[in-house]
Amino acid sequence: MRISRLEAGFTLIELLVVLFIITTILSIGMLSFGILGDDRELQTEAKRFGALLEVAQDEASMQGREFGIEFMTAGYRFVEYDTLLGIWVDIPNDELLRLRVLPDNVEFELFLEGKRIQLELDPAELEDPDKKSSRLDTKVYTPHLLVFSSGDATPFELHIRRDFDDKRLLLRGDALGQIEFLGAEDQ
């Protein structure tokens, strides 16, 4: 009795080819849905910060204002130097330069002059310009980065990193206010 090819089943090579095709399709699907760690979130935050820094630089040079940027572990805010009072104050009614909060599992690491800066969880309390207080009993507030009306800025290195996989993007700013975006492979 002779067994036909249809009754014999699949060969090992046929099974391996099918397994390879299924694995390839699943891998592509996982990457496209971001299951393996999509970088879009980090890139979006890096581009947003870079664009807002450029807005602050433009406003500083065109309007003769001095801006500062304070970083928190999971956010940042812009402040303005009030030359009449000699203190840093919140920027009122400015939707662009408002306090920004990073998405969950994304945080900042800031380096100034090659040294890592310990960032706080919450923004520092600013001195109330309407409250008359002695400057001797208050801590002098200074933001991490300065954006001067001359176009100059504080040189910095900002790492935007995701907690669970330590994926990171790097932004570097120089004293002339130029920003450079680097991925993990460029660092």
Of 110-119, 124-133, 138-147, minimum mean pLDDT range: 124-133
Average pLDDT over every residue of 143-147? 94
Mark whether 15 and 31 lie in a shared domain. Answer: yes
48 and 134 housed in the same domain = yes
**Is residue 36 over pLDDT 50?**
no
d(CA 47, CA 53): 10
Cα–Cα distance, 43 to 183 (Å, whole number): 9
CATH number of the domain that residue 70 is part of: 3.55.40.10
Q: pLDDT tens-digit profile of 90-126?
A: 888 888 899 999 998 899 999 999 999 999 999 888 8
Amino acid letter for position 164: F
Domain count, the chain: 2
Residues 117 and 180 in one domain: yes
Please give the residue range of the domain that contains residue 173: 40-186
Q: How far apart are CA 155 and CA 70, in angstroms?
A: 14
Are 4 and 95 within one domain?
A: no
Q: Which among 73, 144, 139, 141 has a CA at the least distance from the CA of 115?
A: 144
Do 66 and 27 share a structural domain?
A: no
